[in-house]
Amino acid sequence: MAITYTFKVNKIEVAPSLDGLENVVTRVRYDYIGIDEEGNEATFAGATPMPAPDAENYKPLEQLVESDVISWLEATADKEHMQYRIEKEISEKVS
């Protein structure tokens, strides 16, 4: 079963100040959505803590775009677990 997965960012939690930086993203709440080729859909609601920022590559909240946050989720969220749960839910719907 081929499933296409996408992140939808719902909320960004921010520390006003952290390690000398301002408006640092500390956690992201999101939906991880899977849709199969027949249009069957399942969603995993997740929250992932973000690693401490690197001062050299730091972007304050005001400069972030959704693709920045999604790239962090791609790198840090447990996609294997979420995909397993989504695949199981879709399988249960179609059987």
In the predicted model, is pLDDT for residue 1 greater than 80? no
Q: Residue 65: what are its φ and ψ, rounded to 5°?
A: -120, 165
pTM score of the predicted model: 0.90
**Residues 41, 3: contact at Cβ < 8 Å?**
no
Identify the pLDDT of residue 78.
96
Q: How many residues does the chain have?
A: 95
pLDDT band at 94 (very low <50, low <70, confident <90, very high): confident
